[in-house]
Amino acid sequence: MRERVSIEKMIIIYCEAKHRTRKGLCDDCYSLLEYALQRLQRCIFSEEKPVCAKCPVHCYRKTMREKIVAVMRYSGPRMIYKHPGLAMLHLIDSFRNSSIGLNK
């Protein structure tokens, strides 16, 4: 699942910049990654999952949602330079029509 790779890359970018990690993730970012991966695994939309910004279901607890929003705001623009393929695919996903009717 591409979302799993994307969120991991975004958290790594964020952690390296904000927490000055060199290898791996700090404990907080590792916990956030584990939580995010768990949420993706349990997503009710499965392969038809919309991008998080357009999802009608808020599956993150409030505190975790605040953390992941901070990660996405910081890392999103930087993904274009560090992981351009993933960034372009995410951009395409954000514009595509979903079978669950979110982008109509």
How confident is the model over 95-104, as pLDDT tens digits? 874 444 444 4
pLDDT in tens, the chain (104 residues): 688 999 999 999 999 999 998 888 999 999 999 999 999 999 888 777 788 778 888 889 999 999 999 999 999 999 999 999 999 998 888 887 444 444 44
At position 79, the amino acid (one-letter code) is M
Residues 6 or more apart whose CB falls under 8 angstroms from that of 57 comprise 44, 45
Q: Give the tokens for residue 90.
A: 């995410």
Q: What angle do CA 38, 41, 45 make, to 5 degrees?
A: 130
Q: Can you tell me the distance from the alpha carbon of 68 to that of 40, in angstroms, rounded to the nearest whole number?
A: 13
Q: What are the residue boundaries of the structural domains of the chain, listed by start?
A: 2-95
Please report, as a single letter, which amino acid is at residue 63.
Answer: T
